[in-house]
Amino acid sequence: MKENNIEILNVNKKIGKKHLVKELNFNVSGGEVFGFIGPNGAGKTTAIRMMVGLINISSGDVRICGHSIITNKKEALKNIGAIVEKPEMYPFMTGYQNLKFFAEISGGTFKNIQEMIDIVGLHDSINDKVSTYSLGMKQRLGIAQAMLHDPKVLIFDEPTNGLDPVGIREIRQYIRRIAIEKKKAIIVSSHLMSEIELICDRIGIIKNSDLLAVENVNKTSEKMYNIKTVQLQSALNCLRQNQYNSMIKNEQLFIQCDYKEIPEVIRLLVNHQIDIYGFEEKSHNLEDRYLELTARTGKGK
């Protein structure tokens, strides 16, 4: 049984009457990458700030390697490394000098520094001043810095934000490598669904401060079927009344069901005077699942 490196236990953040985060519950074990996805303003960064102790929790708790961030904050934070928004480095110092400085503060060693440089692939530029680094190189240096004290949990807030396609791919590869080789529990937030789908094992979908679902990424890649009909809303109502997982997207009707259920679905719709012109298999990706969940919960855009 895998041990949970970090547990988010019914966490809430409220200012006055406004909820910024509501009843957040999930956990992440070593070797796993958990994706936190939702639009800007959904509550992702607020949640991350609570996880790393930058802002107080209104109610609930975050436990890191068994230590409560409320009652044993010092011990909890020893086991966490994070990049919130963007890594802060001294531009007049080299990459190596920055890592050496932060290692001395956090308790890292020369061995840690060399290992982190190897992991994030900065050998050729580690002795250059950070002021000469591209955004992608700064992100990689930030990941190395976050790991210097060998934490069990890593949290990266929008780590690919502003990067070009090559930089995005590199960061994705490094994060996966760290999870697999170093057995870290990693939480990554993003509004880029395609990136989250490629990098993560599980995802949490958040919108309007609510965590709508926590699911395995491979579950979001199930096959769906496009039902060809002009009576979209009537067909959707019929399917949902009969407990079928269905949605309308881009003026098309989709249903998620077993292949053997197709004849039964067609009969159901025809019996409700809905004309069917075709049934086509479609790939069901993370974006489809996100739209399905937000539509089902009746949330605004």
CA distance 1 to 129: 45
- pLDDT score recorded for residue 245: 80
Domain segments of the chain: what residues? Answer: 4-216, 223-286
CATH 3.30.70 fits 223-286, yes or no: yes
Mean pLDDT of 201-229: 81
The overall longest dimension of the chain from CA atoms, in Å, is 74
Band the pLDDT of 219: cuts 50, 70, 90. low
Q: What phi and psi, each to the nearest 5 degrees, are found at residue 271?
A: -65, -20
Provide the pLDDT confidence category of residue 249 given band limits of 50, 70 and 90. Answer: confident
**Strands ordered across the beta sheet of 278-283:** 245-249, 252-256, 223-228, 278-283
The CATH architecture of the domain made up of 4-216 is 3-Layer(aba) Sandwich (3.40)
pLDDT at residue 107, as a whole number? 79
- Residue 301 in this model has a pLDDT that exceeds 50: no
What is residue 171's predicted lDDT score, i.e. its pLDDT? 86
SS3 breakdown of the chain: % helix, strand, coil, rounded to 5? Answer: 40, 30, 30
Computed over every residue of the chain, the mean pLDDT equals 87
Decide: helix, strand or coil at residue 143.
Answer: helix
The pLDDT of 73-85, averaged and rounded, is: 91
Model pLDDT for residues 37-49, shown as the tens digit of each residue: 887 788 888 999 9
